[in-house]
Structure 1
């Protein structure tokens, strides 16, 4: 007698098939839809994140470009002001004083002619600094209807004159005009440098 009946058979010869759990088509379709929704949402979130990152990058680059442009503008403005400063100094210290001195007598005659309009019967008087009477007299035309007197006053400095026609007076002061021009140029350069330094 054999003992085979006492031992268990582990052979492959089994006739019973394993039972698969029954899955309905509805459950499979629901899982597919849920997977699609999850994938779509994840893709949308990735796209929004990428767009936000791109917008932030573009904004940062634009801010840097504008900052560089602003710096370049202020740098160019400062260089321009620095290069104009010596020219302004030469203009107010040499060119304008020489030009005013050369045209001083002509300016007096022009101003006197303007003042004389409508007051041709009034006496005319020009008061200048010492040494300027003769050059001014030589510029006066001979066709004034009334005589014009030119006299010197030691109180006046070169480039300064008083014109009188009747009760009307006018002062010509080249030094004050030059000083005013210099003050205006200095104020302009000061404010332009302040604006470029502090934005």
Structure 2
């Protein structure tokens, strides 16, 4: 079998020059140490750069995820508020006004009761809407047993009453309380819509 001959791609060495370099052991050790140090420094720089790149990538991903979560939270909040708004609005406009009319008599009674010992022979003066008179008159005559002077005033709302207990006067205004609550609910949803639009 013939011997295999490989082509040499290196340029031929110039004549008269030797390719052999002679170094003493200290120089060889110094070159090896220098080579190790430069390799170690290059590895350290690569590791530091890779760590910084990882930290930047993780920070970017975290910021993106937090932004998506905040956006998702805002969407969920807006959707929830949008679905609750009609219920609360109806509660304030449809349920609370009749409820205020129904509880006017017990509220008037609760206002009178702390002063009942001071009113032994004095009548309780009550000014209220004619529509609220029967319920208030019935409850006060049964519970307090005090002489009543009831004055019908059609300009008052059905959830309003003025009481004079001797020298003390009280105002019961459930209509105003319902109106304030309705306004607060309206303002809350109006602010929430503006906040969602800007957030």
State TM-score, norm by structure 2. Answer: 0.81
Q: After TM superposition, list the pairs within 5 Å mapping 1:114-153 onto structure 2.
A: 114-142=114-142, 144=144, 146-153=146-153
Where does residue 53 of structure 1 map in the other structure?
A: 53
Q: State the aligned residue count.
A: 182
Where does residue 12 of structure 2 map in the other structure?
A: none
Where does residue 182 of structure 1 map in the other structure?
A: 182
Unaligned runs of 5+ in 2: 1-17
Change (3 A) 1:53 1:191: same
C-alpha separation in 1, matches of 2:80 and 2:117: 46
Change (3 A) 1:39 1:117: farther
Q: Tell which structure's C-alpha radius of gyration is larger.
A: 1
1:165 aligns with 2:165: yes
Deviation at 1:119, TM superposition (A): 4.1
Cα deviation, 1:121-173, whole Å, max 9, x if unaligned, reads 43311111123323322112446364122221233232221111112111222
Q: Once superposed, what is the RMSD of the aligned Cα atoms?
A: 2.2
C-alpha separation in 2, matches of 1:143 and 1:44: 90
Where does residue 86 of structure 1 map in the other structure?
A: 86
Deviation at 1:178, TM superposition (A): 1.1
Where does residue 5 of structure 1 map in the other structure?
A: none
Unaligned runs of 5+ in 1: 1-17
Q: After TM superposition, list the pairs within 5 Å mapping 1:8-87 onto structure 2.
A: 20-87=20-87
8 Å CA contact 2:122–2:147 kept in 1: the answer is no
8 Å CA contact 2:129–2:158 kept in 1: the answer is yes
Where does residue 10 of structure 1 map in the other structure?
A: none
C-alpha separation in 1, matches of 2:60 and 2:115: 66
More moved, 62-71 vs 114-123:
114-123
C-alpha separation in 2, matches of 1:97 and 1:70: 38
Deviation at 1:114, TM superposition (A): 3.1
State TM-score, norm by structure 1. Answer: 0.81
Where does residue 9 of structure 2 map in the other structure?
A: none
